[in-house]
Each structure stands twice: as C-alpha cells, then as structure tokens.
Structure 1
Amino acid sequence: MYKEYPANKEALKNPDTSYSFTVMRPGGNDTALVMGVIRSGAMRKEINDVLLGIYKNVEQVGFVNLDPISPELMMAGGEFCGNATRSTAWLVLDGHPGEVNIKVSGVKGKLRAGVTPNGEAFAQMPIYADTSRITKDGDNRIVEMEGITQYINFNTKEIEGLSLDEIKQKAMALIRAKNLDRFPAAGVMYSKKEGSNWRIMPIVYVKEVDTLFAETACGSGTTALGLVLAQQKGESIKDVPIVQPTDLPIKVSVKFDGISFGYAQISGPVEKLVEGTLIQKEEFPYVVEQVTHPKDLESALGKGGLTSLYKDIFAEAPYFESFTDAAVNGFFEDYRRDGILLLASNRDGVIGFGAAVPLKSVPDIAEKMGIPPEYRGNRWYIADLGVKREFRRRDIGKKLTTDTIRGIQALGGKVVDLRTSVNNVIALSLYRQLGFMPIPGVTQEVTGERISGVPKTDTRMFLSKNL
C-alpha cells in the first residue's frame, strides 16, 4: 500500500542528533536539502518524514555534500531529481556562475550542473541515447530515464473537473496498471499544449519512501516531455519552456539527430527559502530556522500561531502583560527587517522564538545602559525569547539563544546585551549558564498594560556577554 502523505512520525530513532538543512525553490518545486549524505535508507526516510511533516510546502528531501571537488546528492528514496540537482549546484556555487560535476542518486555517472551568468541554475538530465526507451501507449508515451520513468499522458480531458486527490488516485492507478511502480520512481505527466506553450500537471510516486505527490514543478517530467517533443520533431530542441503548476516555466533542451539522443538539460530560476537545523532531542523533533522573507513571517504569525504564542507567553508570570495583535506583529517585522529572527517549530506550528537587533537600533536601551553612540556599532541586543509552556525544559530556549549568538558573531558582533525581569528565575539561570553577566547598577522600571487591564511596573535588569 502507498501513503499519499509521509508517515505521521514524531521522532527520529537516533536521540540527540541535529541536521542542518536548506529549503530551495527550483521552479516552485520546494525541496529540502540536508547537509551530509546519509547512506541508510531507513534513516533518510525518518528525516524525510519529519521535514515533510513540519514544512507542508516541501515536496521532497535530498541529502547533499557541497564540497565543490566532489559534490553529491542522495534523494531520500534513492531516486533521481533534476530540480534537486539544480538546487544542489546552486548551493555548491553559492549562486555564482560556474559549473560542477555532481554525483546524483539513481544515476550511474556524474552530471553537469551549475549556474548561468543570468543566475539561473541548470542540470544535465540522465537520459538514454536509445530511442527505444520511449515506447508508445496509444497516443501517450512511456519514457524511461535513469532513476525515474515518466508516463506522458496527452489525454488531459480525463482529469478535467477532478479534484487534486482524484487526479492523484487516477495517476497512481495508471502507474500500477502499466507496472511502472517497479521502478524507484515513476510519474504521470498530464501534458497539454496551450497556444505555443506546453503545460504539465506532474504526479510522482517514489517507491522507497512511499510517497505520492502532485508536484508544483517536475524537472524529470519536463525532460521526458522534451524528449518526446524532440522525437516528434525529428531534431534538437533548445530552451523550450514547459509551464509548471506554479505557472513558472522550466526550460528544456535536447540534442537529437533523428536517430539517437545526445544530451538533455533543464534550466530556470532557483531561490533559497530557508536555512535551519532539525534537532532531535529526547525523541522530540523540531526545527530552528532564521526568518528572512516577509511571506514566511506572515505565515508564521498566522497559520504558524506565532502571534498568539507571543501573547500567551507574556501573559504568564512574571510578566502578566497584554499586547494587541498589531503590536506583536510589528515587533516581529522589526526583528525580521532589522536584525535576526529565529523560530522553533514542530509539525503543529511555532513553539518558540528568539530575536536580536543591533544595539544602535534601540537607542533608548543603549542610553539606559550608558553606552555612548560611538560604542554601539559592534554591540547587539537580544530583544525577545520565548518557548511554549509544554515544550520548556527541552533546551529549546538555549538552542534559540546560542544560534542567535552565532548569527551575531557571523555579522561581526563583539558584545551581546539583553534585558529580563529580575523575577524571571528560569531566564536568568539560562543566561548565566551561557556566560552572560549582570551589568552592575543598571536596572529599568518598565510599565505596561497587564492582562487585568491595569498598568503595572516591574523591574528589569541588564546582562552582557563579550563574544
């Protein structure tokens, strides 16, 4: 039996481990790339399931070695993926023009991939020269490629009016009927010509991780259609745009002399969405990521529950503070725009946050601490930290703080300052554990509206740490 969505697993089997990852968007086909190639298929599947459970937009997971001398991509199911290959090349080259040869799962030899002068990422596609690898099935075609086999279905009328789930079920039934599920990965590319352009609706099944996705973009499906178009035309094609479900095109080029195929390549824009770390702590997986895109923050504030989480945390002792949604959203937009904003999330939403801004951006705090303007340039201020009540005492606050400090160091910061309530015993214990020392004689009386509706004043103290 196949599962339409990843298994609902909440824990990796290896305790107290962490994995750095980057989420890329090649043509809309959001892909998580985990740093480090893991050979165990079972372990790859566990990480795959956790990341897909947390990031609902991510459709596939790969494991990468970004060494430019010997780069490698291993997909979670051992299949081949053209868009993940393009994304890996982009990361290896850090988005700069160039070319590398990448070892990719599902393919015997290395593939050329890189970044063009205009910033687009490209990847050689693993095709067979022999045209007999393309077989007719009525008006449709079955295209065998290394690592994946695609069924090019020109009969798009059969899916008109169907829901996405119904289309997926129909595609899976076709994959089984044609015995394509014997391959590591198989897809059905519903392909339709619209004017001078082609558009595809890709449904892809990956055997080892047992997933079925209606993909937002598909590089191998784009290539398979390109092979069929070149064969029908009887000659090579170059940079033919194939419109994906995202309405973004992926361009395909195929060399064909009328007898055999020579080379195939896909190209198009690639965007880095998220960098983060997957943490497994006491059989509890969560991710910590830095939020830089406005849309990601908007999603976290709303669907992710960040706004309500902030209000709930500061409504508790020792603060008992009350904030409007607009005020909270404004805080986080300032953090995202001016400083460092980290979020901790699990499959249910945001469970923690940490934020820091340059000290010069909060002059009232700097003045209270007695720091002259000329000494504020290399100092940062940890402005916020909070963890959902039921997830405390799992070192999430510590992880958010240490990652914030690393981010500050990467930006050249030399000193970190912060402020907390003199009654916040748990926070003070954490900060002292991390090397923060109280600034003697510096306190601040802060008055704010409480959940009771009555303004109240409490005492805050300042702490500092040299980096």
Structure 2
Amino acid sequence: MQKYVFSKWNACGNTTLFFERELPRALVCRALEAGQLDCEQAGFVVPKERRMHMAGGEFCVNATRSFGAYLAWIDQSVCATYTVCVSGWPASVHLTIEKREEGVWDASACLQLPECEIEDKKLGPVVHLPGISHLLLPHDGTWDNKRARELMAEYGLDKKDACGVVWYGKDSRTSVLTIRPLVYVRALDTLYAEGACGSGSLALAIALARTGKESPSPFNIVQPSGGSLKVRLEKCSATVSGEVRLVCTGSWYA
C-alpha cells in the first residue's frame, strides 16, 4: 500500500479532497467512497504555482474557493488575496480570503465572465459555463439520480466534461432562493447530489438576471446543506462568496 497525504475541505456543504500529487482516476474514485474518505470531488494542487486541477478536468467554483482557503491555511494568513489558475476556466481567478476562526474562512472567487450561451429548452434553460453546463428546472419534488441521468442524456449534457441538473425554488413567504443540484463528471463517471454547488448557483443567477423577474444582484442562494452562497453579477464578471471549512488532514493508504 502507498501513503497519500490529503486535506478535506467543506465549502458551504460541497466537500473536496486536495492531493499534492496526481492520482489515477480509479484511485480518486476509491478515495471518494463513503468507506474511504467520503467526499464529493477531488483536485490536485500545486501551491507554489497557484494551480488547482480537478480530477475530472471540470470547473468547480466551490473547489476553487476551497483552494483559496487552502493557500491561506498553508501561508498562515488571516487575510489574503490570490490569483490562481484552475481547470475548466479560461482565465485566472481572483480569490479573496478572510479567516473567521480556526479552520474557517470566508472565501470569494471573482470570475471574469465570457459570453455564456443559454439554451431555452422545454423544461428549462441550459446555461453553458466554461467547464460545466447546468440544466435549471423549477423544483417539483421529483428530483433523483435516475431522472437527472435521463435529462442529461436527452439534452446531450453527459457528453460535456461536467454537467448538472439544478432544481430550484423560491419560498413564497420569504422570497429565499433554494437549489438542489445533481452533478455529473464524465471523466470519473460520478454523479452526486451535492451539498452545495457554486457553478449551479452562478448559472441560476445568470438565468434569473436575464429574465429581469428577480431583484438585482446579489443573489443569496440557499444550498441543500442549509448554508448560503452569495452571487454578485457585474457587467463582465461574477463573484461567488461563502464559507469554507477545513474538515481534516491526514494520510490515506491505498
């Protein structure tokens, strides 16, 4: 057996494993299992070069925010800014990190937004972001893995590096937006009902802003974990903000 040093991060309910060396995909899938490190996704980090590559090559907002917290953690910084390169996104990402308490940070990712194609489908819009596409559906209480896979196949989204089906709703009394995302990563053939989804929240904000039916940015979007992500849209950029926690660090043997 070999030893693999890891750290596990929780970004508003979306968990990520970071390894400082690249692992074969089969080993990554094993590490994610409930009987192993029990995580939703994994990435490989090169701290000195400010680079993070997701194991499936996809783009992940929450893993990017977690990478910022990871850098602040190893730098022992209370407040820090970083410009990083991450998989799936064509431009550098600017991160702002503030330590709230031991093992907890507020992390914001500022993304330069390219022109994002939005396809209007019968059931709902598909928002194509760099590195991931999301189908947005009004929450009707029928969300599940089987239905998500059917919809991904029907719209050809399962041919993308990564895709999601994001059911969303709005509380009629409080006007609070909520999402329930199911995310598929093709290279790893993984499908997770994620505890939070940054790119899904961004896609929803972009789609709602286009309709003009919602109050202007920022959008506060409650995740399945109960935590909230804030999405602020500008003319050519977007900022996604929320909490990141360090869950644990250690060695994994496989």
For 1:99, which of 62, 81, 85 is the aligned residue? 81
Residues in 2 aligned to 1:143 and 1:198: alpha-carbon distance in whole angstroms: 18
For 2:226, give the aligned amino acid. Answer: D
Give the structure 2 partner of residue 122 of structure 1: 108
Contact 1:90 1:114 in 2 (8 A): no
Shift of 1:239: 3.5
Q: Quick check: 1:189 aligned with 2:175?
A: no
Shift of 1:55: 4.0
For 1:176, give the aligned amino acid. Answer: A
SS at match of 1:271: strand
TM-score, normalised on structure 2? 0.89
Please list every run of 5 or more consecutive structure 1 residues that lacks an aligned counterpart in the other structure. Answer: 1-15, 257-261, 280-284, 286-467
For 2:134, give the aligned amino acid. Answer: Q
Number of aligned positions between the proteins: 244
Which structure exhibits the higher relative contact order, with contacts defined as CA atoms closer than 8 Å and separated by 6 or more residues? 2
Task: Rate the CA distance shift 1:189–1:140 in 2: closer, same or farther, 3 A.
Answer: same
Task: Rate the CA distance shift 1:66–1:56 in 2: closer, same or farther, 3 A.
Answer: closer
For 2:27, which of 21, 34, 47 is the aligned residue? 47
Runs of 4+ more than 2 Å apart: 16-19, 53-57, 116-119, 124-130, 233-239
For 2:222, give the aligned amino acid. Answer: V
Residues in 1 aligned to 2:36 and 2:228: alpha-carbon distance in whole angstroms: 24
For 2:180, which of 172, 197, 201 is the aligned residue? 201
Give the structure 1 partner of residue 66 of structure 2: 87
Contact 1:26 1:268 in 2 (8 A): yes
**Residues 308-457 of structure 1: pairs in structure 2 closer than 5 A:** none
For 1:215, which of 190, 194, 214 is the aligned residue? 194
Task: Rate the CA distance shift 1:55–1:124 in 2: closer, same or farther, 3 A.
Answer: farther
Q: Quick check: 1:232 aligned with 2:211?
A: yes
For 1:61, which of 42, 45, 62 is the aligned residue? 42
Contact 1:125 1:223 in 2 (8 A): no
For 2:152, give the aligned amino acid. Answer: I
Please list every run of 5 or more consecutive structure 2 residues that lacks an aligned counterpart in the other structure. Answer: none
For 2:239, which of 255, 259, 265 is the aligned residue? 265
Contact 2:208 2:214 in 1 (8 A): no
Give the structure 2 partner of residue 180 of structure 1: 157
Shift of 1:236: 9.1
Shift of 1:75: 0.7
- Structure whose residues are more often strand by fraction: 2
TM-score, normalised on structure 1? 0.50
Specify the structure having the higher radius of gyration (Cα).
Answer: 1
SS at match of 1:30: strand
Give the structure 2 partner of residue 307 of structure 1: none
For 1:62, give the aligned amino acid. Answer: G
Residues in 1 aligned to 2:36 and 2:232: alpha-carbon distance in whole angstroms: 32
Q: Quick check: 1:145 aligned with 2:124?
A: no
Shift of 1:237: 4.2
Contact 1:127 1:146 in 2 (8 A): no
Task: Rate the CA distance shift 1:98–1:185 in 2: closer, same or farther, 3 A.
Answer: same
For 2:219, give the aligned amino acid. Answer: V
Contact 1:150 1:188 in 2 (8 A): yes
